Structure 1
Amino acid sequence: MRQLTQVFLAVVLVSAVLLYTISGLNSSQGYSSGNTLTVFNWGDYIDAELVKRFEKETGVKVVYETFDSNEAMMTKIEQGGTTYDIAVPSEYTIDKMRQEDLLIPLDHSKLPNLKYIDERFMDLPFDPENKYSIPYFWGTVGIVYNPKMINGKKITSWNDLWDPDLKNEILLIDGAREVIGMGLNSLGYSLNDINKDHLKEAREKLDSLTPNIKAIVGDESRMLLENQEASIGLVWSGVASEIMYENEDLEYVVPKEGSNLWFDNMVIPKTAKNIEAAHQFINFMLDPEIAAQNAEYVSYSTPNKEALKYMPEDMVNDERFYPPPALTEKLEVYENLGKKNLAYYNELFLQFKMHRK
C-alpha cells in the first residue's frame, strides 16, 4: 500500500511539473487559457502560414480541428463537448444551425473588412443580412473531364453523361444532395425539389446511368482523375481547379441545365468561449491580401472582391471558377429541406447505390 501511495504521489508530481512547464511555455509566448481560439474547419481548407501569422499578430493561440461533413460538424457542436469559437459550415447547414439556435449573432462593427465582400454573396436566404455568417469561399458543382480519354467529346450538359460510349468512365461524389441534384437538374427540376414523384423520376434516371459509373467516391476522386484512371468526375469547382493544375488535359464545365452554387461561411457557434478573438480571426481572414493568399493556396473562389487585385490574372479571369453574374444567377443554392425531406433524399441515394451492386 505504501509503495502504491509513493507511485501515486510521483505521478501527481510529474503531472504538476508538466503542467507548470506547458503553462510557462504558453505564457512566454503570450498565450493563456483566455486567449486561445479553437477553429473547426474542413480539411486542408486554410493556408497554415496564415494561422501562424494571426497568432503572431494577435498573441492568440489557435487550436485547429477539422471535419469531413457538415453533418459531423453540426453533431459535435450540438453535443457541446468542445468549445469551438469558429466553424465553417455550408449554406444549408447555416440555415439549420440558425433555426436551432446554435449560433451567436455577429457584431459587424468589429468586422470593418466586411466591406470587401462582393455584394452578390451577401444577404442570401440562408442568413438574411448576414446576421450569423460571413462568406469564406464559394463555388459550383460541375463536371471535370478529360477529352483525350473520350475521343474528343465535349461535355456541356448533365445529359451528356448518359452517352453509352462513356461506360465505366464516371466518378460520382458520395453525397445525396449532389447526386440526386444532378438527376433532378438533368430532368429540368430544381435542386431543392421535394415533389416525391420528381425525386423518384430522378432516382430512376440515375439508375439508368449505372453502366457508366466507375465508382462513387470521396477525396480519392482527385488521384483517380489526375492519374487518368477515370475520364469524368462530378466534383466541386475547387477540386476541379486542384486536379487541373496537376493534369492540364482536364476540363471543367458547369452544365447548361444548371447546378449548385455553394457557399462556406465563417460562423461563431454557441460553444464559443473567446468571442472577441473569433471576431478578430474573421476580420483577419477578410483582409484582401490575406484572402488572396488563402484563395491561391486552397484553389477555391474567394468572395472578396478586393482580394482579386492581389491574385494572378489567369486565375481570376478564368470564368470556369469565377463565373460572371449572368451564370451565377442561373445557379441554385441548396436550401434547408428539413429533416424529413433530407431523410428521403438520403433514402433515394442509398437505393441508387444499392442498385449498382
Structure 2
Amino acid sequence: MNTERGQIRLVRAAMVLIWIAVVLVVFFVARLDVFAQKRSITVLAWSATFDSSFVKKFEQETGIKVYMNFYTTNEELLVKLRAAQGKEYDLIVPSDYAITKLRAEGLLKKIDKSKLVFMDHLNPLLMGLPFDPANDYALPFEWGVFCVGFDTRKIKIEEVKSSWDLVFTRFQGRDGYRIVMSNDPLESIALAAQYLWGPVASITEAQVLEIKALLKQQRAWVEAYANVRGDYLLGTGSVDAALMNSAEILRALYAFKQIDFLVPENAIISIEHCALPAGCTKDELVYEFLNFFYSKEFFIHHYNEMFMFPARIDVVDFVDASDRVKELMRSSPSAFRGYSFIRDLLPEQQRFDLWVSVKS
C-alpha cells in the first residue's frame, strides 16, 4: 500500500514538474517573440531600392529582422501611410514632391543626424531643397534625371533641335513614329507643363485645357504608357524614343548599343529620400539600417545593378559608368540650378479625370 501511495506521489510530482516546464517554455517563447519584435523594423519602399542580398547581409550582421513592403507610386505610399496614421512602418522612401505632403500632414518625424555616420559624404546639391530646407525630415538616397532615349538607327542626333520634340511632337511628321511615355498621370502632366512653359508652381484652368489637348494629341504616337519595360521597348526597336528616368535609359544603353540619350532643356529630376514615419518607435534600429545602406559598398553595387545615381558624391569615381554619365552625376551647381522637380499641379480627382480623358 505504501509502495502504491509512493508511486502516486511520484506521478503527481512528475505531472506538476511537466506543467511547470510547459509554463516556463511558453513564457520563454513569448519573451523571445517580444524580443524578436523589438529587434525588427518594417520598411516601405520601392521594390528596387534595397537589394535583397544586402538586406539579408544586414540581418545576419545585426540580428535585426527587416520586413519589406513595397509600393509602385508615391500616391500608393501616401494612402498606406495615411491609413496607418504614420504607424506600422519604421522607414519609408518618398520622392521629393511627396515629402511636402507628408510633412504638411504630420506624418514624418525629425531625424537625429548625430546617429548617422555618412552625412559628410552626401552630395551637397541634393541637400537643403525647398521641400525640406534643413533636411530635418528626409535625407537623399538616390536620384535620376528624366531623359529622352532614342534609337540611333532611326534618329540622328544632328536632326534633333529640342529633345522635348522627340516626345511631344510626331518627330519630323514621320509615319509610324512611336514613343514610350510615363504611365503616371502626375508625372505626365508635370512633364507636359515643363515642355509648354518650363518650371511652373501652379497652372490656370486655361493651361489645364492646353495640357489636356497636348497629351490627347500625343496619344496618336504613344506605343506604350510605361514606367517599367520602356527600356526593352526602346532596345528592341518597338519604339523610336522614350521619355524615362535616367536609370531606365541607362539600362537600355547598357543592353542595346544602338541607344543614345539626351537630357532635355529645363530637365526634371527625381530624388528618392529616406524618412521616418511619425509613428516609428524603433529609431535606433532604423539608424543602424541607414548607416549600413548608405555605405560606399552598397551604393557602388546599387548603381551597377539598378543605374540609380547615388546620393554619396564620393562613390561616383567607383561606379561602372561612362565619363558622360559621371559628369551628369556630378552636375555643377549652375547645371543643378537648371533642374526642377515634379510638381503636383492638379487635385487628385481632376488629375484622374484628365488622364482618363487622354487615354480613352
Short-chain TM bin? 0.7 to 0.9
- Could you tell me which of 61, 64, 71 is aligned with 1:67? 71
Gapped runs of 5+ residues in structure 2? 1-21
Kept in 2: contact 1:106–1:268 (CA 8 A):
yes
Pairwise mapping of residues 1-357 of structure 1 onto structure 2 (< 5 A)? 32-80=36-84, 83-150=88-155, 154-155=159-160, 156-161=162-167, 162=169, 163=171, 164-165=173-174, 167-256=176-265, 258-312=266-320, 314=322, 317-319=325-327, 323-335=331-343, 337=345, 341-354=347-360
Amino acid at match of 1:174: N
**Distance (whole Å) between structure 2 residues aligned to residue 94 and residue 273 of structure 1:** 20
Gapped runs of 5+ residues in structure 1? 1-15
Kept in 1: contact 2:148–2:166 (CA 8 A):
no
SS of equivalent residue, structure 2 residue 60: helix
Kept in 2: contact 1:118–1:305 (CA 8 A):
yes
Shift in alpha-carbon separation, 1:202–1:97, aligned structure 2, 3 A = same
Write the deviation string for residues 296-344 of structure 1: whole angstroms up to 9, x where unpaired.
222110121122243236368544565444332111123455xx64543
Shift in alpha-carbon separation, 1:43–1:191, aligned structure 2, 3 A = farther
- Equivalent residue, structure 2, for 1:8: none
Shift in alpha-carbon separation, 1:111–1:320, aligned structure 2, 3 A = closer
Deviates more, 1:272-281 or 1:307-316: 307-316
- Give the TM-score, by structure 2 length: 0.82
**Distance (whole Å) between structure 1 residues aligned to residue 56 and residue 225 of structure 2:** 37
Question: Would you say how many aligned residue pairs link Structure 1 and Structure 2?
Answer: 330
Amino acid at match of 1:159: D
Shift in alpha-carbon separation, 1:244–1:204, aligned structure 2, 3 A = same
**Distance (whole Å) between structure 1 residues aligned to residue 78 and residue 338 of structure 2:** 29
Kept in 1: contact 2:142–2:310 (CA 8 A):
yes
Shift in alpha-carbon separation, 1:297–1:261, aligned structure 2, 3 A = same
CA RMSD of aligned residues (A): 2.8
- Give the TM-score, by structure 1 length: 0.83
Kept in 2: contact 1:192–1:334 (CA 8 A):
no
Kept in 1: contact 2:235–2:255 (CA 8 A):
yes
Kept in 1: contact 2:123–2:312 (CA 8 A):
yes
The Cα of 1:98 is off from its aligned counterpart by: 0.7
Shift in alpha-carbon separation, 1:53–1:301, aligned structure 2, 3 A = same
The Cα of 1:130 is off from its aligned counterpart by: 0.6
Structure number with bigger Rg = 2
**Distance (whole Å) between structure 2 residues aligned to residue 284 and residue 154 of structure 1:** 46
The Cα of 1:236 is off from its aligned counterpart by: 0.8
Kept in 1: contact 2:313–2:330 (CA 8 A):
no
